[in-house]
Structure 1
């Protein structure tokens, strides 16, 4: 079951799989830091709720600074979203494996995250501006 409502920038509110997943436009600018480096800044983030997990942000891939990121061969599969691809952080003195993930072929009900990246909150600091 999917329902769409129009919100302000970006126009998005999606409820999928009878409420197991809810996505909506973040109403703030989101900034992400790893190792005290700003890796992302976006006014077009998606706030993503899945089951009883804490909500996370998905940031448009175009708003990510990939200078310190390297693709990983690691993959996982989610029955709701599809296959996740990962990126690792390689800083001057800090290396963090598989700290970002994306779903380049996310299932249709969550297709809005196809061009977006999320972050492992154990290693990333997310600020709302």
Structure 2
């Protein structure tokens, strides 16, 4: 078994059966435990805005939500939705067993310098092609809005999920969830 296969097989939950501890969704809600693994990539036409302090750095109605078991979705926007004058390439990189190698950008404005706050999968692994060249952000670093609703960041240093009122969990990043 390759390292990639080993990483992929290590997940206990895959969205095929909601665990007993999961909250059942009500009308108009989604359970993060119904999302699949590997992730699904779903177009979302709600207006998404991303702000760094008083500067809007991105806006689009052509987002893609990455839906993965146990996590709030990350919203990915087309590269052209970003005001690139505020983005600087970062040396930071990470690897996802489903998406591949992520490259990062710092957000630098006259009043802010946010390290590795934006990421992109320029050449994603098979299955994640829908987000190739799209960018996402950590909502704990930036102010994000979906359809006018302020996003709450997913807890945990690594996670970049966007929590909105339509979601029920619990989700990874909360205390006691490291084994998920």
TM-score, length of structure 1 as denominator length: 0.81
The reply on whether 1:113 has 2:131 as its aligned counterpart is yes
Instruction: From 67, 82, 100, give the equivalent of 1:49.
Output: 67
The reply on whether 1:36 has 2:57 as its aligned counterpart is no
What is the aligned partner in structure 2 of residue 81 from structure 1?
Answer: 99
Task: Point out where structure 1 has 5 or more consecutive residues left out of the alignment.
Answer: 1-17
Structure 1, residues 30-89: CA drift from partner, whole Å, max 9, x if none?
111112211111111001122211112100001111111100111111111000000001
Task: Point out where structure 2 has 5 or more consecutive residues left out of the alignment.
Answer: 1-34, 148-180
Instruction: From 57, 78, 81, give the equivalent of 1:60.
Output: 78
Structure 1, residues 86-111: CA drift from partner, whole Å, max 9, x if none?
00011112111000000001112010
SS in 1 for 2:84: coil
Structure with the bigger percentage of strand: 1
What is the aligned partner in structure 2 of residue 11 from structure 1?
Answer: none
SS in 2 for 1:74: strand
What is the aligned partner in structure 2 of residue 14 from structure 1?
Answer: none
Which protein shows a greater Rg? 2
Count of residues paired in the alignment: 112
The reply on whether 1:19 has 2:36 as its aligned counterpart is yes
TM-score, length of structure 2 as denominator length: 0.59
